[in-house]
Structure 1
Amino acid sequence: MSIAFYVGKNLTKDGSTLLGGFGHEPSSHWIDIVPAQNHPAGSRIQVGVTEAANLPGELITIPQDRNTYKYISSTYSEFLGFPPPLTNGGLNEHGVAGRDVWSDSRQELIDMTPEPQRGLNYSDLARIAMERATTAREAVEITGGLINAYGYATYGGNSHLFADENEGWVMIEFAGGQGLWAAERLGPNDVRVSYPGYIHDFPVDFKNNDDYMGSDNIVDFAREQGWRNPEQDDSDYLNLQDVYGVPFPGIGVDKEEDHFTAMRIPPEREDELLTLLPMSLEDMLALVRDPRWSNDQAGYGQVAHIRPHVHKDLQTLWVAVTGAVTTPYVPIPIVTKPSAVPPEFVQHRYLTKYSDSEPLSPDYAMQEATRYATREFKRLLYFTSEHPELFLNRITGSMESLEMKMLNERKELEEKYLTLLESEGADAAQKMISKNVEKWSFKSLQLGQELTYKVEKITRKRFGIRMPEDTADIGETTPPWSQSMVKKPDEPYVNCYDPELDIYPRKFGIYSKDED
């Protein structure tokens, strides 16, 4: 699934580009800072999907660039059988941010997907964009070029949203094994919500328009299939969603019956976003945290704060290690050392694919011995979801009070970095920033543990711990708490949404006075 919010620089309070969102994945999540690297000539990387994917495939290798850039990412281990580790993007050292968002292709395209399929998957494209792109436009050129050269392996259609300090690009990759893709530029006066990703009017002469890109066959293939008959439609534009996609899943869904699905109409979310303009970083943090979509399926939270007039080392990705509805963000400037991410915030075995069936490698014993931040914040989510009317706003207030402290120190911290960079050199300046990231990571974890302790104590005293009911087949003797814990298709995701709590979207920090 996933969601992404783009706001151009002319529509923000500080002239920055904002790109926020998260991925919907039922797996473990952690934070990686991947360093810039040099690779020997002839290096190759493995891409694609295996036979275990929902649309089976075959892995291939493609050439690696000699040099890859540093980037910050939320990493995870599972989505529809795709090989881990996986990423939806992040922020790289050139100030290019990326988000990955689902975008279902029409059934005929899914049906014509070859078996096995070959090519780059959505995560491969996001990762390579972070490794190689210096602008958002270049991210599309690189990923589109890779699809042209090596093909695309899909789970049924997908999209990406790339951004830099000047512009954004939404890119749709279609199922079918035909190498179909298209991209649309988003300027400094644009907003876009991908939920799912979409492009409507796409010019048939896109090759003569700098605001669009696409595969050579993106127009002709629709005509060949009879999905766009030029005798009936001589328009200069192709509605890509109508021709290659499916209707927004939220159309016609009652918000009271299924608010989570009803939210999935991007133009409606864009209208809401317009009410927040000019938008601040804080407003974007609150939007990504919104309980209408941040729930147990939300793997993490990210907001890329891409500013035009700061030192490139200080471009910052605000990261919540798991769903931001009950997880504080921590600001991570791109200059931060990879080792500054505490072991509590990197990979652990909880919910991690392939880690449940064999003993632990001794090399990972100390890493695994630490508390796993994702698990700690998940505990807070699960407790809060039982009684959100009692807990959610106060928990949000506590988290945003902590984040206000981080926000209030940014100017002084960045000035100190520049002073150190000039007086003592890059190593001393980087060390200072890295210690700051480590400090706030630990403080966020400490707050999460304290909140969980308080909420658990109140819950036990006032309500007790609700246990699962017996849902076993007739004749089953296993106690309900030992049966499968997997969500059933007709069950909602664990969530903290309550329409009585507030009118959404809401302003950042409004609950902080109630944090106790």
Structure 2
Amino acid sequence: MARYTTILSTVIALCSVSANASYSFYVGSNLTASGAVLVGGTGEEVSSHWLKIYPAADHAMNETITVGVTSAAVVPGELSTIPQVQHTFRYISMDYSDYLGFPPPISNGGVNEKGVAVRDVWAPGRAELLDMTPKPQRGPSYSDLARLVMERASSAQEGVEVIAGLIDKYGYSDYGGNTHLIADKDEGWIVWEFAGGKGLWAAERLGPNDVRVSFPGYIHEFPTNFKQDPNFMGSENIVSFAVQQGWWNSSSGEPFNIKKVYGLQPGQETPAGGDAEFMSPQRLENLTIQMAPVSEKDLIDRVRDPRISNDEAGYGQVVSLHADTDPDMYRIWIAPTSSVAAPFIPWWLGAESIPPELGEHRYLTKDSESTFLNQDYQLQEASLFAGRLYKRVLYYMCSAPRKYLPLVKKAFIEFEDQSREDIEWIEKAANLMMSNGERNASRSLLTHYSHTRAAQAIDMGKSMVNALDSYIKLSGQWRDPKGTQINISPNGEPVNCLVGIDPEEPPSEQSKN
């Protein structure tokens, strides 16, 4: 119990610099049980989240797309158009409705038909860069970059080149600094894009023996002759600009460290919040390495860690990137809201549709209270929303987290274990259908299975809500709300009801109220 108290007081004290921001895991292929690259993470935005599959498409020669941010963004900008490519790839994404005023729909990434996975993660740069940012700013946003990589990249390295080309040609609309994790079956890349309007970016390769946890994203030591090093890429001015600003001097003997030179400096903050090393990405990296060989189940457990998956988390994702995978068979596990309070459901790129319960709803959508529904959206809004359902599980669980968390988690694990058992025969049957030229039948099977599991997950959520609601009320544990603020602590930060729950604690301690 003393260990719990120490963790609780430490995290509460440090939460004053926290932010709503995504995080990601990368596990290289030599460290995984299947030999695949594993990617996982979540998005942390006070916003509505929904699942969507974007089909591959051909485009006219003169077609354009709109990118950037509006004057409503935390750093004001203006939208612009850029040319669309002739063909875009199929991909699956968990979209959301708002972050710091960026126009919806917004994406942190997903996986495309080429087996390229993308995760967007905040990475605050030094405040001087934000001060330099043109107002209004122009160019693709972090969400635009994630989408365009999924639409256009056939490999992780090509994804870096897509981002680099877009920034070099059209600029970049930012909120203070951002990274993208881009991965394929062979490797990963961390790309750090900086505010300032100077076209600054840097990228580092992650190999088969690497594990990387980003919260925030980071790149440390970076070679000044990076053009001769296949493990690094960067903008032409990534070194020279730092020298011009007096932020780094080659004669000092200090290595050129991207985080130290371009990252948030002591005492600084950006609109996305301060640094968050207290979340200890390095500790989470070490814990992940200790799990090697890491399975999908293991990475789901890491993503579900209650120290980082809480009320702020909008969804959870885990994907395996295997060699020689048919485009329809790329599989991604998705939890419809914070995975500490929701089960992961397997989806394939070959799925033909998403059930309405996982589609777009008005819950947590900005300004929804001031408008009425378009008639075409009434049936969608009438459907139960999985994100809202599992938020209810979270809030009931938070009434006594040390009592209810182990029970809820156990139910999710058993549900996911059953899905894993089913996946073996589902994928075998789907591959057999495709080999016999019955791709449409294969897609129908994948769609049917994911829809079925989604429906079963929703039934489980309803049962949990009903059971917790009845037990809490009948046992006299109901508490009426007090005060005028919702989910805000005295220092103005969001309250995390799971802040002191340590997943490394013995189950006997976790189950205590």
Q: Give the TM-score taking structure 1 as reference length.
A: 0.90
Deviation string, structure 1 residues 368-405 (Cα, Å, up to 9, x no partner): 11001111011111111111111111101001101101
1:322 aligns with 2:337: yes
1:266 aligns with 2:286: no
Match of residue 254 from structure 1: none
Match of 1:70 among 85, 90, 94: 90
Contact 1:5/1:21 (CA < 8 Å) preserved in 2?
yes
1:285 aligns with 2:300: yes
Letter in 2 for 1:467: D
Q: Structure 1 stretches (4+) deviating beyond 4 angstroms?
A: 260-263, 498-501
Q: CA RMSD in A?
A: 2.0
Letter in 2 for 1:428: A
Match of residue 380 from structure 1: 393
Hey, what's the Cα distance between the residues in 1 that align with 2:455 and 2:266?
A: 40
1:301 aligns with 2:316: yes
Hey, what's the Cα distance between the residues in 1 that align with 2:300 and 2:111?
A: 16
Match of residue 347 from structure 1: 360
Deviation string, structure 1 residues 181-232 (Cα, Å, up to 9, x no partner): 0000001111111110000011111111111111111010000000012232
Deviation string, structure 1 residues 428-474 (Cα, Å, up to 9, x no partner): 11111110111011111111111111111111122443222234xxx
- Judge which range, 295-304 or 305-314, deviates more: 305-314
Letter in 2 for 1:425: E
Letter in 1 for 2:260: D
Match of 1:31 among 42, 51, 55: 51
Contact 1:71/1:90 (CA < 8 Å) preserved in 2?
yes
Contact 2:488/2:495 (CA < 8 Å) preserved in 1?
no
Which structure 2 residue ranges, 5 or more long, are not aligned? 1-20, 268-274
Displacement of 1:333 in angstroms is 1.3
Secondary structure of 2:369's counterpart equals coil
Displacement of 1:269 in angstroms is 2.0
Secondary structure of 1:153's counterpart equals coil
Match of 1:143 among 156, 163, 173: 163
Distance change (3 Å), C-alpha of 1:136 and 1:176 = same
Displacement of 1:243 in angstroms is 0.3
Contact 1:384/1:496 (CA < 8 Å) preserved in 2?
no
The correspondence of residues 172-191 of structure 1 with structure 2, limited to 5 A, is 172-191=192-211
Match of residue 201 from structure 1: 221
Displacement of 1:424 in angstroms is 5.2
Match of 2:264 among 234, 242, 246: 246
- Judge which range, 285-294 or 455-464, deviates more: 455-464
Contact 1:389/1:501 (CA < 8 Å) preserved in 2?
no
Letter in 2 for 1:239: N
Match of residue 91 from structure 1: 111
Hey, what's the Cα distance between the residues in 2 that align with 1:155 and 1:500?
A: 31
Distance change (3 Å), C-alpha of 1:494 and 1:449 = farther
Secondary structure of 1:434's counterpart equals helix
Which structure 1 residue ranges, 5 or more long, are not aligned? 250-259, 472-483
Match of residue 449 from structure 1: 462
Contact 2:126/2:265 (CA < 8 Å) preserved in 1?
no
Contact 1:263/1:269 (CA < 8 Å) preserved in 2?
no
Match of residue 145 from structure 2: 125
- Judge which range, 296-305 or 265-274, deviates more: 265-274
Match of residue 17 from structure 2: none
Letter in 2 for 1:427: N
Q: Give the TM-score taking structure 2 as reference length.
A: 0.90
Secondary structure of 1:303's counterpart equals strand
Deviation string, structure 1 residues 295-342 (Cα, Å, up to 9, x no partner): 1110100011112244332111110111101111111111111x2x11
Letter in 2 for 1:150: Y
Q: How many aligned residue pairs are there?
A: 482
Match of residue 480 from structure 1: none
Letter in 1 for 2:79: L
Secondary structure of 2:389's counterpart equals helix
Contact 1:21/1:302 (CA < 8 Å) preserved in 2?
yes
Match of residue 13 from structure 2: none
1:398 aligns with 2:411: yes
Hey, what's the Cα distance between the residues in 2 that align with 1:290 and 1:304?
A: 17
Letter in 1 for 2:478: I
Letter in 2 for 1:268: R
Contact 1:248/1:265 (CA < 8 Å) preserved in 2?
no
Distance change (3 Å), C-alpha of 1:269 and 1:419 = same
Distance change (3 Å), C-alpha of 1:385 and 1:105 = same
Secondary structure of 2:81's counterpart equals strand
